[in-house]
Amino acid sequence: MYQSRANNPRLSSWVELDSQSDFPIQNLPFGVASWENNDPRLVSRIGAFVIDLNYLHEKGFFQGIELPKDIFKSTVLNPFIELGKNTTCALRDRLSILLEDSTDYAEAQRHSETFLILEDQVQMHLPLAIGDYTDFYSSIEHATNIGKMLRDASNPLLPNWRHLPVAYHGRSSSIRVSGTPVIRPNGQTKLATAESPIFGASRNVDFELEMAFVIGKSNALGHPVTVEQAEEHIFGLMLFNDWSARDIQAWEYVPLGPFLAKNFASTVSPWIVTLEALEPFKVQGPVQDPEVLSYLQYSGALNYDIKLQVAIQPAGAEPSVICHSNFKYMYWNMCQQLAHHTVNGCNMQVGDLCASGTISGHEPNSFGSMMELSWRGTQPIDLGNGLTRGYIEDGDTVILSGYGRANGVRVGFGKASAKLLPAVQY
């Protein structure tokens, strides 16, 4: 792992920062934004400000780092990520020098009114060209809850679950950046008491609280990525809401799994937090029993203590937090997921996304989906002011957020939010 100076918890910045900001000098994530009449371009973030990387590059502040002339004028991060970790990490470290209080680069502060733009004055864009997207199913608590509801309460996990990271191929074309509305999907559903299915709008639209990792280094077809190599192939993480239509899913998922129930929308946060920035939050994962096969074995801490929460904001009302979870609960970690994904020789490309699957904990308020929180709608959730929810209703906005805290430093992801709109009428 690249040893980053930007992670130093003693660093402070000349930029004024709120103590609860997700974006201290120790974060410096990457995204894509536009403002005024500019085309979308690559940016970073500190506090309430977006950082214009192209301006700093043109003014020579990145001198000594080998960067193509117009690299920050790209409308997606893929070309920048493809430069490799030695370059992207060096760039993040240089930013930490430019923004550090009492820095040798005091000249940067004199340009601050030009390269620092208030975040409420910019439009954030989907930061990647996502070629492929895979959704894992790696929380044992979530898999157990779903198994109890849909299979056998006494034997909820399928025989393969503890032996491999289960996953399915999702639909990358419907992934949208935070703030993009989601339209309620139509499809086939079948009531338990009915003999035949019907067509119409899903009645059981759900969120799934997930994290997604971004592939930062490709592997050649036929050449797997080992658990030990995986971190070199992961650029960073994003918040991920894998919207789901549970009633469509219940009818279609046998024998090949979800299709229309999952491919209509996914929401991601606009900022990619680098794996290096998350290094201070590494923790040991759960004990895996039985022992996994050799290609999935690992040593050290590969889980991450990232506190997660979900809020629902009904139209005209205040948000109500309904879930507190943590990324550290994952039974299968990201390195195992990537090793399994490629063990057959599957070639991953820069910009591909792999989502964790729903992140649930042991306690009912840590369940990462409405299906679990309301137990298939039988125990509606109290949102206050007389409002309850079994599933997501039209006009509701679902808001995901998350952060890690260590050594007095908070590093977060911002928000991944989207409003559910009514279905298209046929």
**Sign of torsion, CA 242 245 248 249?**
positive
Q: What DSSP state is assigned to residue 302?
A: -
The catalytic residue positions are 142
Q: 10 Å Cβ neighbour count for 30?
A: 25
Please give the Cα distance from 405 to 410 (Å, whole number).
4
Please give the Cα distance from 373 to 304 (Å, whole number).
23
Please give the Cα distance from 399 to 241 (Å, whole number).
9
Angle, vertex CA 239, rays to CA 409 and CA 259, nearest 5:
165
Please give the Cα distance from 163 to 152 (Å, whole number).
19
Q: What is the full DSSP assignment across 98-130?
A: HHBTT-S-THHHHTHHHHEEEGGGSEEE--S--
| CA nearest to 257, candidates 170, 168, 192, 137 | 168
Please give the Cα distance from 91 to 85 (Å, whole number).
9
Q: What is the full DSSP assignment across 158-203?
A: -TTTTTS--EEE--GGGEEETT--EEPPEEEE--TT-SS-EEEE-S
Peptide bond into 290 cis (omega under 30): yes
Both tokens of 8, joined, read 């130093």
| Cα 350 from chain centre | 16
Helix, strand, coil fractions of the chain, as percent rounded to 5: 20, 30, 50
Both tokens of 298, joined, read 């690992």
Please give the Cα distance from 398 to 403 (Å, whole number).
17
Residue that is written with structure tokens 């599957």 in the block: 346
CB contact burial 266-288 (16+ within 10 A = b; e otherwise): bbbbbbbbbbbbbbbbbeebeeb
Strand pairing class (198-201; 234-241): unpaired
Both tokens of 47, joined, read 């506090």
Q: What DSSP state is assigned to residue 82?
A: T
